[in-house]
Amino acid sequence: MMRKPILLLDSGVGGLSVLRAVAARLPEWPLVYCADSAGYPYGTKAEAHVSARVAGLLGRLTERLDPAIAIIACNTASTIALGHVRPVLAVPVVGTVPAIKPAAERSRSRVIGVLGTEATVRQAYVDDLSARFAADCLVLRHGSAALVDAAEQTLRGKSPDPQIFRDAIAGLTGQPGGERLDTIVLACTHFPLVADALAAACPWPIAFVDGADGIARRAAYLLAALDGERASGAAANRAIFTGGLEGLAPLRPALKAFGLDSVESL
């Protein structure tokens, strides 16, 4: 008997940074990665739009795929819509929210940055995490849509303008107090995919923290309770794109590198 899949959802390729951690921790579980390419990007859109879109899409996907759990592998969608979708979906939902707690735990200077989308950095969810876990830190925030696009381009084999990475870092270090910044939360799942380029753009050594491992641990915990079935053979992972398959050729090598050989359209 095959296990039910783990469903991961993002607006684009960003959630692959979460898929990587989930696949490493739970190699025996089949993964279905959904990129809402027809709705990309989320980070520049209004809350009501993102919330309705994510709720609708997760409803369709869970009905069609009958997953064991769903992971919203997107900070924007999670900080906006997690509260709305959890009560209405029949499966457990794991969200991706800014890793402010681990960042505050490791910061020595007590100045941390939250680098996300414009939508994520303005969410009350970030105020709440900062108050709960980083009350003694200065928490700087910066949103960058250009950086999300740069990650999409990088995975398509292109080399984005290095100024995009410098501008993103300067958006934090240039703020009052930013000269003491020692830790940045990568609060958009696209950003760990370009961590090397971001590190190269830092004017001094700055640590990056993201939530992917924490999400994989949470998924493993939830699945341990459900795991009555034995998997038969290796599970084939697959990707679903909502915006059609046209123009996806440049992305196929990266998808393959993440173990996603099969790509379908919704």
Give contact residues for ligand DGL (rule: CB under 6 A): 10-12, 14, 40-43, 74-76, 116-117, 120, 148, 188-190
- Of 34, 137, 188, 202, which residue is the catalytic one? 188
Residue that is written with structure tokens 């100024």 in the block: 163
3 contacts 231 by C-beta, under 8 angstroms: yes
Active site residue 137: no
Whole-number minimum distance, CB 259 to ligand DGL, in Å?
A: 19
Toward ligand DGL, which CB reaches closer, 3 or 14?
14
209 contacts 184 by C-beta, under 8 angstroms: yes
Toward ligand DGL, which CB reaches closer, 51 or 75?
75
Toward ligand DGL, which CB reaches closer, 3 or 185?
185
Task: Give the residue nearest to ligand DGL (CB).
Answer: 43
Whole-number minimum distance, CB 78 to ligand DGL, in Å?
A: 8
Whole-number minimum distance, CB 116 to ligand DGL, in Å?
A: 6
DSSP for 189-204, please give it: TTGGGGHHHHHHT-SS
Alpha helices for 122-186 (secondary structure H): 124-133, 145-155, 162-173
- What is the three-class DSSP state of 233? coil
Q: Maximum CA pair distance of the chain?
A: 58
Whole-number minimum distance, CB 181 to ligand DGL, in Å?
A: 21
44 contacts 61 by C-beta, under 8 angstroms: no
User: How many angstroms separate the CA atoms of 133 and 115, rounded?
Assistant: 17
- Of 34, 74, 137, 202, which residue is the catalytic one? 74
Tokens coding 33: 């990665």
Whole-number minimum distance, CB 14 to ligand DGL, in Å?
A: 3
Toward ligand DGL, which CB reaches closer, 67 or 116?
116
Tokens coding 66: 């009958």
Toward ligand DGL, which CB reaches closer, 133 or 191?
191
Active site residue 188: yes
Tokens coding 147: 């950086």
Residue positions annotated with a catalytic role: 74, 188
